[in-house]
Amino acid sequence: MPERRTLHPPHRSTARHGAERPSGRGLLPLNTPQQKAVLRALAGLDVFASAQGIHRHLRGQDAPVSLSTVYRTLATLEHLGLVDAVRDSRGEKAYRRRDTSEHQHYLICRQCGYSVPIPCEEFEEWLAATQRRYGFVDVRHMLTFEGLCRGCRDRRAAQPLAP
Amino acid sequence: MPERRTLHPPHRSTARHGAERPSGRGLLPLNTPQQKAVLRALAGLDVFASAQGIHRHLRGQDAPVSLSTVYRTLATLEHLGLVDAVRDSRGEKAYRRRDTSEHQHYLICRQCGYSVPIPCEEFEEWLAATQRRYGFVDVRHMLTFEGLCRGCRDRRAAQPLAP
DNA sequence: ATAACTGCAAAGAGTTTGCAAAGAC
DNA sequence: GTCTTTGCAAACTCTTTGCAGTTAT
């Protein structure tokens, strides 16, 4: 009954983050035109964007990049810890550039995608205490918030009955 | 750039299910052999199981149930609030029976699926304060923890280098 | 009979992969 | 010339849907 669903391929991918990073060059440069296009799409964007979305976006621009390249680049970025990834409610993975080298959480606007990183010390403390209390170890967590940012809330208030 | 990824199809499909729940009877009985099989698979199980997993499980038992029926039943259960659903890191949806009528969070073992509901008042308070602070409204959150339960931790300690 | 439910097979959506062609050093 | 990256198409996985046959009332 314990219902073993296929184990994630041993997470080596995400796990190795910092790890052996600093070695002169690994998979790094990340400087092909396509990779740069993806980086550019993400840069300075306070928005979680999906691979498909970035692909569509770039297609509309000067620089179309193949979908697989977008996926591959995002995977690399995630492994390097340069972006944060979440799963939205539809199961699509969405990415956003990461500024700090620390673990981060965000408040995300479900209307426009705007996101703001939030300080979580308090939360992390609570979490540490909790996992200790239940005898769990090596706990990874995911925390996502979806709401309406001030802008979208006001906009919505403006046009009352619009769908 | 705001990158609008497809809004969830207004859930009408799924929506047709419960909607006006409390009315004497809606779609409820939930008493066909197949539905009962799914309920039975979930009952008393402190484990998050996926649709595919439940389907596999039932196939191994007396009562094979078609995959679509499992999906449909789980969707109904979710709408009725009788199960909680999470997305695992692979993007698969996993379900677990819900005991309370309240919003719940769980500590989930990534090895065996065992889960324990955790009291979150403290967390919810922090959350309320935070969303207020950033001017967000109507915030829904998702919080998942994946770790190793005591049992799996011990088991792992026992066979040191096993993959 | 009528309304609801099941199973199957086909269709969707997101993501991954094999491979040959193109590009970088 | 060798190693890496790209793009395309095919393959996969999870999930949803159309439809005809079945079941229960």
pLDDT digits (tens, 9 = 90+) for A61-99: 878 999 999 999 999 999 988 998 888 778 899 998 887
The whole-angstrom separation of Cα A17 and Cα B144 is 21
A112 touches chain B (CB under 8 A): yes
What tokens appear for A135 in the block?
Answer: 């005898």
* Average pLDDT of chain A, as a whole number: 76
The whole-angstrom separation of Cα B144 and Cα B84 is 12
CB B95 within 8 A of CB B78: yes
pLDDT in tens, B60-102: 888 899 999 999 999 999 999 899 888 877 889 999 998 877 7
Provide mean pLDDT across the span A29-39.
Answer: 90
Look at B5 and A140 and tell me if their CB atoms are within 8 Å.
Answer: no
Q: Residue A162: its pLDDT value, please?
A: 42
Q: How confident is the model at residue A160 (pLDDT cuts 50, 70, 90)?
A: low
pLDDT in tens, A123-159: 888 888 888 898 888 887 777 777 888 888 887 766 5
Q: Which nucleotide is nearest to A70 (CA to C1')?
A: D6
* Average pLDDT of chain B, as a whole number: 76
Beta strands in A72-136 (DSSP E): 83-87, 93-97, 105-109, 115-118
The whole-angstrom separation of Cα A4 and Cα A116 is 36
A109 touches chain B (CB under 8 A): yes
Look at A53 and B92 and tell me if their CB atoms are within 8 Å.
Answer: no
Answer yes or no: is pLDDT of B161 > 50: no
The whole-angstrom separation of Cα B8 and Cα A162 is 17
Provide mean pLDDT across the span B108-132.
Answer: 83
Look at A141 and B140 and tell me if their CB atoms are within 8 Å.
Answer: no
pLDDT in tens, B8-45: 222 233 333 333 333 333 455 788 999 999 999 998 78
Q: Residue A8: its pLDDT value, please?
A: 26
Query: What is the longest distance spanned by two Cα atoms in chain A?
Result: 57
Query: Full-prediction pTM beyond 0.75?
Result: no
Amino acid at B150: R
The whole-angstrom separation of Cα B75 and Cα B103 is 17
Q: Residue B117: its pLDDT value, please?
A: 87
CB-CB neighbors (< 8 A) of A90 in chain B: 6, 8
B69 touches chain A (CB under 8 A): no
Answer yes or no: is pLDDT of B1 > 70: no
Q: Which nucleotide is nearest to A67 (CA to C1')?
A: D7
